[in-house]
Structure 1
Amino acid sequence: MRPLRLALSLLTIFPLAPKEATPEDFRRSTLFFPLAGYALGLPLSLLALLPLPDGFLAALLLACLLLLTGFLHLDGLLDAADALLGSRPRAERLRILKDPHLGPFAFGVGGLYLLLLWQALALVRDPLFLLFLPGFARFAILPFLNRYPLLHQGMAGLIRGGPVWGAFLLALPFPLLYPWSALLTLFTAYLVARFALARLGGINGDVLGAMIALGELGGLVGYVLWKALSG
Structure 2
Amino acid sequence: MRPFLAALALLTALPVRGVFSQEEMRRGVGFFPLVGYLLGGVLALASLLPLPPGLEGALLLALWLGLTGFLHLDGLLDSADALLGAKPRERRLAILKDPHLGAFAFGVGGLYLLLKWQALAPPPSPLFLLLLPGFARFLVLPFLNLYPLAREGMAALVRGGPLLPSLILALPLPLLFPLPTLLAVLAAFAVARLALSRLGGLTGDVLGAMIALAELGGLLGYALWKALGG
Measured in 1, the distance between the counterparts of 2:17 and 2:221 equals 34
Report the CA distance between 1:185 and its aligned residue.
1.0
Task: Determine the structure 2 residue equivalent to 1:225.
Answer: 224
Task: Determine the structure 2 residue equivalent to 1:8.
Answer: 8
Q: Deviations over 1:98-157 (max 9, x none)?
A: 211111110111000000000011143300000110000000000001111112221100
Measured in 1, the distance between the counterparts of 2:110 and 2:176 equals 31
Secondary structure of 1:102's aligned partner: coil
Q: How many residues align?
A: 230
Measured in 2, the distance between the counterparts of 1:125 and 1:213 equals 17
Please tell me whether residue 163 in structure 1 is matched to residue 178 in structure 2.
Answer: no
Contact 2:77 2:109 in 1 (8 A): yes
Structure 1, unpaired ranges of 5+? none
Name the amino acid aligned to 1:185. Answer: A
Task: Determine the structure 2 residue equivalent to 1:117.
Answer: 116
TM-score for both structures, normalised by structure 2: 0.97
What's the % identity of the aligned pairs?
A: 66
Q: Deviations over 1:52-78 (max 9, x none)?
A: 111110000000000000000000000
Measured in 2, the distance between the counterparts of 1:74 and 1:160 equals 21
Secondary structure of 2:120's aligned partner: helix
Contact 1:6 1:17 in 2 (8 A): no
Please tell me whether residue 45 in structure 1 is matched to residue 44 in structure 2.
Answer: yes
Task: Determine the structure 2 residue equivalent to 1:72.
Answer: 71
Change (3 A) 1:17 1:207: farther
Secondary structure of 1:115's aligned partner: helix
TM-score for both structures, normalised by structure 1: 0.96
Q: What do you get for the CA RMSD once the two structures are aligned?
A: 1.1
Q: Deviations over 1:149-186 (max 9, x none)?
A: 11222110000001112101011111111111112112
More off after superposition, 110-119 vs 165-174: 165-174
Measured in 2, the distance between the counterparts of 1:125 and 1:83 equals 32
Structure 2, unpaired ranges of 5+? none
Task: Determine the structure 2 residue equivalent to 1:87.
Answer: 86
